[in-house]
């Protein structure tokens, strides 16, 4: 019985021992499995792992990722102190720091540069922790490669810096169109601060200049995954309008779903204005070339008509009806010269002889004529500026400016009204001109002509300087008056601005460049009697046969001996035959083969005492710089009368010989 109990106890003990062995085997197997899992994780980790013996600071283990990252072999890590490994030689945590670490303490570097075995640099995040393993301290160092992350962060920083500094306004919205981000350029362009628009819809910029269909088509384009490009007139915070050239693009996530929209826009308001001005200048230049050519040819024919009419008049008894008819022909011809002068002034090809003058004196000398021009029912007020700076300009052109502007003012006034002429000194700096398109920095003399007439709307204002544009009734105006004003101002390197509103009158402000030198009074003397010849010989050179013949006849009627030549080369040959006999060369400026200036220079080289008189319907750069004759040059404008020719020829013959013809 006792034996049986003993055997049972032994049996039970064996069973318990077997269970204990089984549990131990299971635990060992679990431990082995855990170690295998840990090893797999250790070896497959995408971060570098260093295991250090906390007592000695020596490397107990290192995973493959760190070996590959730093380029050291396993043996170069194993058994070495961390501070002995080249990559960690400059680590700020010293030997003492590692050896004094306590459980649950750590050393951390968020951005630690490490040098690889081959000398390259990598940026890592370094964290070392102390763990207790079987009552022994173990230090585990986790090393994460943040080189790509750091590079991406730097690229994002550069991108944001570019977005912050770029001149175009950038707006980012969510998929529903709510604004999430705007850059500083957007703030400058619209006047809105970032916090004022974030969460808002871009419709806060709507100006009303585009209809709802425009916005529906825009939204349909971008929500359909396409990019929209175009121009939009938007409204700033202060209510002013601006034109924006913009591109709106959808932004997709990795799955292809639209998650954002990005708009990149540029304020092109000033660009559009400058483009319109350039196109207008091109149009004016093209019409100007045509007008100048027409005026030149017309002047030639008109000179012939007037010349022959005056010659015929001298042969007819004043009591005969034909005498009165010829007088009417001459009168009409002279009136027609005003049209060609307007065309030439508009084309900026009108030959001018500028002098330094006081603009106040020039205006005052015109006041009586202007009062007669505008009529008794209109009050003319004259407000001269004090200590006015001088300008350099042809006095005749000032007369043209005043006459055209005052006639324009008169026509704008119904019944009674007032026209005011003002002058003054003004100056504009670069900052002012940057904010006021059309203004040019510098010091100017202002000539302003204002009226209290009907004024003009914006559509009319945009067209007033176009040639042949007029809002007057048929037969009441040629449409050249303000074109002439524009041409004169531009020819003198000035600029003009117009201020007008319907029913509130108009002010034309002309800005002429100052001239800092002595002021000369305008001479307007007229010679009453026709000066005749003293027997001098004149060589006339003109490529237009009818004008050549007429000029020869006029000079002969004045008593001059005349030789005619149709080309410069023919003139040189004639001059050789009459060496020393020719007193005056009367030559056209623009001719085929050789211009009049070159001809005059060659002839004056042979005969230094030869006097020169140029004639032309318009001048070219061969005789002038930008259409301006040099001071002292003898010049007669086509068409001319016999009286004009007589005066100019006599002035040229009596003048001291000059060897230069243009500045």
| C-alpha–C-alpha distance, residues 450 and 421, integer Å | 7
Query: Beta partners for 449?
Result: 421, 508
Neighbours of 379 (CB within 10 A): 14
Residue pointed to by tokens 């559009």: 272
Residue pointed to by tokens 């010293």: 94
Burial 381-418 (b: 16+ CB within 10 A, else e): ebeebeebbbbbbbbbbbbbbbbbbbebbbbbbeeebe
Residues of the chain with pLDDT under 70: 1-7, 11, 24-25, 27-35, 89-106, 132-136, 277, 280-296, 335-352, 431-438, 463, 465-481, 516-529, 617-632, 639, 656-663
pLDDT of the residue at 649: 93
The pTM of this model reads 0.41
* Structure tokens given for 202: 């871009």
Whole-number CA gyration radius for the chain: 48
Cα distances from 459 to residues 277, 287, 500, in angstroms, run 15, 21, 11
pLDDT of the residue at 430: 74
Q: What is the helix (H) or strand (E) element at residue 164, kind and residue range? A: helix 147-165
pLDDT of the residue at 34: 63
pLDDT of the residue at 626: 34
pLDDT of the residue at 579: 78
pLDDT of the residue at 15: 73
Q: 557 near 531, Cβ under 8 Å?
A: no
* Structure tokens given for 391: 């300008």
Question: pLDDT digit string (tens) for 433-459?
Answer: 665 566 777 889 999 888 888 888 777
| C-alpha–C-alpha distance, residues 205 and 239, integer Å | 9
| C-alpha–C-alpha distance, residues 303 and 337, integer Å | 9
User: Helices then strands (H, E): number in the chain?
Assistant: 20, 24
| C-alpha–C-alpha distance, residues 596 and 623, integer Å | 8
- Please provide residue 199's backbone torsions phi and psi, each rounded to the nearest 5 degrees: 90, -15
Residue pointed to by tokens 């209809």: 211
Residue in 426, 424, 448, 428 with CA at minimum distance from that of residue 438: 428
- Beginning with the edge strand found earlier in the chain, give each strand of the sheet holding 561-565 in spatial order: 561-565, 537-541, 584-588, 611-616, 635-637
Q: Is 292 helix (H, G, I), strand (E, B) or coil?
A: helix
Q: Is 582 helix (H, G, I), strand (E, B) or coil?
A: coil
| C-alpha–C-alpha distance, residues 213 and 220, integer Å | 10
pLDDT of the residue at 190: 92
| C-alpha–C-alpha distance, residues 385 and 441, integer Å | 21
* Structure tokens given for 616: 């032309």
Burial 237-265 (b: 16+ CB within 10 A, else e): eeeeebbbbbebebeeeeeeeeeebbbbb
Q: Is the backbone peptide bond immediately before 639 cis, with ω within 30 degrees of 0? A: yes
Q: 347 near 299, Cβ under 8 Å?
A: no
| C-alpha–C-alpha distance, residues 69 and 48, integer Å | 8
pLDDT of the residue at 615: 84
């Amino acid at each position: 019985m006792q034996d049986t109990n003993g055997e049972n106890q032994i049996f039970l003990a064996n069973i318990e021992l077997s269970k204990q062995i089984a549990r131990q085997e299971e635990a060992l197997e679990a431990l082995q499995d855990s170690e295998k899992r840990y090893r797999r994780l250790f070896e497959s980790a995408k971060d570098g792992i260093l295991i250090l013996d906390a007592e000695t600071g020596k490397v107990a283990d290192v995973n493959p990722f760190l070996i590959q990252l730093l380029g050291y072999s396993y043996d170069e890590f194993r058994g070495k102190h961390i501070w002995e490994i080249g990559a960690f030689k400059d680590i700020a945590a010293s030997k003492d720091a590692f050896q004094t670490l306590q459980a649950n303490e750590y050393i951390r570097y968020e951005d630690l540069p490490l040098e690889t075995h081959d000398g390259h640099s990598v940026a890592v995040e370094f964290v070392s922790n102390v763990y207790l393993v079987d009552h022994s301290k173990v230090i585990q160092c986790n090393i994460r490669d943040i080189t790509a992350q750091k590079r991406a962060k730097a690229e994002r920083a550069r991108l944001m810096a570019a977005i912050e500094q770029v001149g175009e306004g950038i707006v980012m919205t969510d998929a529903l169109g709510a604004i999430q981000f705007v850059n500083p350029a957007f703030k400058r362009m619209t006047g809105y601060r970032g916090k004022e628009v974030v969460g808002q819809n871009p419709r806060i910029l709507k100006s009303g200049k585009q209809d709802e269909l425009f916005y529906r088509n825009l939204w349909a384009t971008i929500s359909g995954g396409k990019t929209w490009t175009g121009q939009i007139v938007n409204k700033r915070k202060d209510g002013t309008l601006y034109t924006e050239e913009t591109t709106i693009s959808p932004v997709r996530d990795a799955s292809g779903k639209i998650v954002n929209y990005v708009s990149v826009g540029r304020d092109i308001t000033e660009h559009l204005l400058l483009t319109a001005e350039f196109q207008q200048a091109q149009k004016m230049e093209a019409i100007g070339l045509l007008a100048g050519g027409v005026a030149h040819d017309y002047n030639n024919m008109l000179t012939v008509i007037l010349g022959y009419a005056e010659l015929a008049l001298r042969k007819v008894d004043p009591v005969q009806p034909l005498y009165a008819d010829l007088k009417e022909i001459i009168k009409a011809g002279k009136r027609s010269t005003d049209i060609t002068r307007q065309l030439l002034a508009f084309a900026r090809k009108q030959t001018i002889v500028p002098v330094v003058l006081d603009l106040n004196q020039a205006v005052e000398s015109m006041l009586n004529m202007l009062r007669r021009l505008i009529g008794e029912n209109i009050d003319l007020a004259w407000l001269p500026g004090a200590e006015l700076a001088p300008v350099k300009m042809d006095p005749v052109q000032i007369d043209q400016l005043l006459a055209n502007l005052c006639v324009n003012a008169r026509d704008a006034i119904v019944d009674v009204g007032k026209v005011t002429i003002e002058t003054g000194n003004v100056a504009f700096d670069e900052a002012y001109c940057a904010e006021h398109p059309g203004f040019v920095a510098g010091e100017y003399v202002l000539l302003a002509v204002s009226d209290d007439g009907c004024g003009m709307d914006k559509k009319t204002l945009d067209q007033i300087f176009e040639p042949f544009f007029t809002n007057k009734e048929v037969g009441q105006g040629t449409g050249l008056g303000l074109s002439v004003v524009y041409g004169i101002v531009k020819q003198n390197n000035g600029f003009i601005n117009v201020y007008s509103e319907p029913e509130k009158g108009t002010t034309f402000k002309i800005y002429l460049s100052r001239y800092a030198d002595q002021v000369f009074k305008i001479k307007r003397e007229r010679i009453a009697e026709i000066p005749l010849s003293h027997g001098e010989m004149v060589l006339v050179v003109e490529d237009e046969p009818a004008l050549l013949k007429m000029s020869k006849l006029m000079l002969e009627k004045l008593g001059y001996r005349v030789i005619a030549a149709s080309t410069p080369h023919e003139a040189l040959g004639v001059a050789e035959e009459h060496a020393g006999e020719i007193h005056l060369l009367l030559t056209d400026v623009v001719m085929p083969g050789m211009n009049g200036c070159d001809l005059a220079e060659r002839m004056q080289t042979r005969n230094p005492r030869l006097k020169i008189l140029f004639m032309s319907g318009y001048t070219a750069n061969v005789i002038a710089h930008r259409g301006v004759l040099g001071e002292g040059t003898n010049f007669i404008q086509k068409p001319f009368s016999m009286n004009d020719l007589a005066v100019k020829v006599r002035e040229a013959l009596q003048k001291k010989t000059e060897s230069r013809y243009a500045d």
